[in-house]
Structure 1
């Protein structure tokens, strides 16, 4: 086997074998995933919570320490993308489609079934926003930022391949080019395939629900397969055009549509209540951040924590290789401090405002307007939650169509970024992978998503996604150590250079001083 193609072929075969198991033995795969998930929740939940907090603390340390001034690239490099475009690409490639999917469903779910206290009350409404902010805040984005800053540093400053194995160079040395490095890459590819297939599967279900709600299209596997095929054709064309073409324009369009949707709901909804909820939620989140981040319920059954907090934190870890790799690719030229502000705090505030607008409006309808049917629809089928929510607004058809277009574009940009990263890793860190490799991965992801929709295996794969978070957590903890070691070596080099420059300048001053004195005497 060609060693240059080893990662591609091995990961492709393993992906197909994994999916074949889901096709021919779906009950066995689901049973294994469910058992693994329960084992992790019952025995290793503390490890997931602790790891995510370490990732956040490490990212903050890098941003405010002496390392913050180090540029992700040469000292003369500057950012390739404007900050607004860069942030738009962060959302488009990561959790944009999930924000649309859960914007109404998750806050309402917490309102009806809170982590503690009475349900459907003022207290549960406050807790709903507080825990939504926990699940979509700095903890989530820190997982992405850790991988992103580490890879960008070694890729652009140390000139190593655009692959996650490069991050471990301070610990492995040239072994990253041999078996240990290839094993890391194969594992990364598998986690990306699992993650993107699950996300696109949920996106397909929501698009199908939307066209059913709007135009009475049937909700079945045939409609869903057609949706996947059509969107696959679009994002393959988009990915061939390259990052600076399709992704830039689609990300900018995403931001415009997202602002338009939020603007309509903000104006037509309970505006004052939304702003109050936004600021109240941030305050409650900041005040209780440590307690919520480590809440394990050791004396209770912990079912709520397992179903929501541990699931989300596991999901963010599992998505970190994909999103982090893409974020690294678009972050060349930024300092580490700029990167942390832009990749952790700004997206977190954007997510908070999205949930404040959508979630607060939905809870207001249920609690103050008596629209309890909305809560029932969320409990029945979360894929219809957003469209049922819009049904209570003026211009409901317009809002639903706008949301459908937004989901569609997020679908395309997420898949586009996934195949781009898969192409980079498959070609040994090539920052500009070939169109053929990206097309192959695009077709594979589409085929996997169709199989999952047809076999109903999304829930099993969703569990498998969280299962991958344990080995990935270990990998990312080692990544912290390796990145710190690399940065430390860099600061030593910079310190030596500054010392030599100072000595050189001092020597020049000493040489010039006698000449100036002679000129002064002559004068």
Structure 2
């Protein structure tokens, strides 16, 4: 059996591809110790990651200053480019979804979905934004309202206008525009893999533009950037998330939130991720994602019922309308008086979402075979807006209500973003139980992100294979945890902040990748036979 027969289902074999290519998945691979390594990408990415960790630890102060300066320069000089590019990507996705191309089924006309709709949607959210929504559900609207780091459009803090914009800006940051970033990468990968017979790796999306060169060094460099960005982003989230979870445990139960606790949390999350990644996509990520959704729904229902229920329910329609009417003003970069807030939040978010697009986009593609393009885009673009409106309105309205009423720790405003959720829950009934559920939810989301990220890196470093060997999955899941621990122990928050700044800076070149994906995908879709009703 050939390498490509091991990798792709029979109906996806390259000989049936529209594209004429001699590339065979795994042709450059070497096998030893149970690993299946795509030689250039695996060793270059592993070497770069280890070198970066060593340099950051050795020169933590200097590297931190350099990367932070690079991040600030990127956000300041290219704010217009991020805004224009993300709007172009959204309009492209909207056009494709509404066009006749929307009828195309990923995997061919006879392809069946690999996962049920609920499991599919659960995995999309768990990998994409689940952990962020838990962290910022109460914190982000409250921070905007109280002027923790400026207010949207420079309105008066704690005013009615500030409250309205707090929700519209938050939903704007988590709604349709950023999800279009994930959608175009995910759709490109799914289409070229399942409909054109190319391997599931970032380079495949550039075949219409680069031709056979994608199998050479141009493709190696594209995949290398994707692997490094993914692992750095995951390692940073693990490190920062462990610090935040430890702070929550200390705030609630008095558990020491020092380095030992943070290392134990990372090690535990990594161990659970390894167990999950060994079980595979169906038995690991799918199960965890379903658990995530159940816990998230329970916590959401609790906040709605225990908080100011009537006000929360009324806020859904108001906040959805405000999001639509305020989006143009929030997108404008010309002559803004809230420059610090705009760069520190909106442009920062756009760069962060873009830097994560290889990871989340590839994972979304991996689980979306059998869906039509219109179904794919509807799920990835429309559902997040609905969820964002409900989630941020419920948590944010409850927290802001406590601020306005002078209740508990939030009466003085936001002191630390990572604690807002727990400070809000503290003033509701059964606070210890709900806070414990929130911590468990955070941890499970972390495990899901680490697991899905490992599956993505496995695929890239195995030359696009859909099912990399188990030892290779374990290797990358372990690497994520080890990098986070090493940076945390050696450089503390300074090293992790430097790593985060580096991930944000990569958002600039990946913006060009996004725009190129639109052009490449359009060429690929144009080669498809029109689908009749």
Q: TM-score, normalised on structure 1? A: 0.91
Deviation, 1:291, is: 2.6
1:373 aligns with 2:409: yes
Partner of 2:34: none
1:158 aligns with 2:196: yes
Between the aligned partners of 1:472 and 1:349, the Cα distance in structure 2 is 27
Deviation, 1:297, is: 4.6
- Which 4+ stretches in 1 moved above 4 angstroms? none
1:48 aligns with 2:78: no
Unaligned runs of 5+ in 1: 499-523
Between the aligned partners of 2:209 and 2:413, the Cα distance in structure 1 is 52
Between the aligned partners of 1:57 and 1:394, the Cα distance in structure 2 is 45
1:408 aligns with 2:443: yes
Residues 236, 416 of structure 1: 8 Å contact kept: yes
1:439 aligns with 2:474: yes
Deviation, 1:322, is: 0.4
Deviation, 1:372, is: 6.6
Between the aligned partners of 1:288 and 1:105, the Cα distance in structure 2 is 20
Deviation, 1:100, is: 0.9
Q: Secondary structure at the match of 2:467?
A: coil
- Out of 91, 94, 98, the residue aligned to residue 128 of structure 2 is 94
Residues 89, 181 of structure 2: 8 Å contact kept: yes
- Out of 316, 334, 357, the residue aligned to residue 394 of structure 2 is 357
1:283 aligns with 2:321: yes
Question: Alpha carbons of 1:158 and 1:203: their partners in 2 closer, same or farther (altered >3 Å)?
Answer: same
- Out of 272, 276, 279, the residue aligned to residue 241 of structure 1 is 279
Between the aligned partners of 2:29 and 2:426, the Cα distance in structure 1 is 56
Q: CA RMSD in A?
A: 1.5
Between the aligned partners of 2:447 and 2:75, the Cα distance in structure 1 is 33
Partner of 1:33: 67
Between the aligned partners of 1:314 and 1:259, the Cα distance in structure 2 is 29
Between the aligned partners of 2:55 and 2:73, the Cα distance in structure 1 is 21
1:324 aligns with 2:361: yes
Deviation, 1:41, is: 2.2
Partner of 2:97: 63
1:334 aligns with 2:371: yes
Deviation, 1:451, is: 2.6
Q: TM-score, normalised on structure 2? A: 0.90
Between the aligned partners of 1:146 and 1:89, the Cα distance in structure 2 is 17
1:196 aligns with 2:231: no
Deviation, 1:6, is: 1.4
Residues 377, 385 of structure 1: 8 Å contact kept: no
Q: Secondary structure at the match of 1:288?
A: helix
More helix by share: 1
Deviation, 1:74, is: 1.4
Question: Aligned pairs, how many?
Answer: 491
Q: Secondary structure at the match of 2:527?
A: helix
Deviation, 1:375, is: 5.4
Between the aligned partners of 1:301 and 1:261, the Cα distance in structure 2 is 34
Partner of 1:74: 108
Deviation, 1:494, is: 4.0
Partner of 2:269: 231
Between the aligned partners of 1:159 and 1:393, the Cα distance in structure 2 is 53
Partner of 1:313: 350
Between the aligned partners of 1:326 and 1:435, the Cα distance in structure 2 is 18
Partner of 1:384: 419
Between the aligned partners of 1:135 and 1:357, the Cα distance in structure 2 is 17
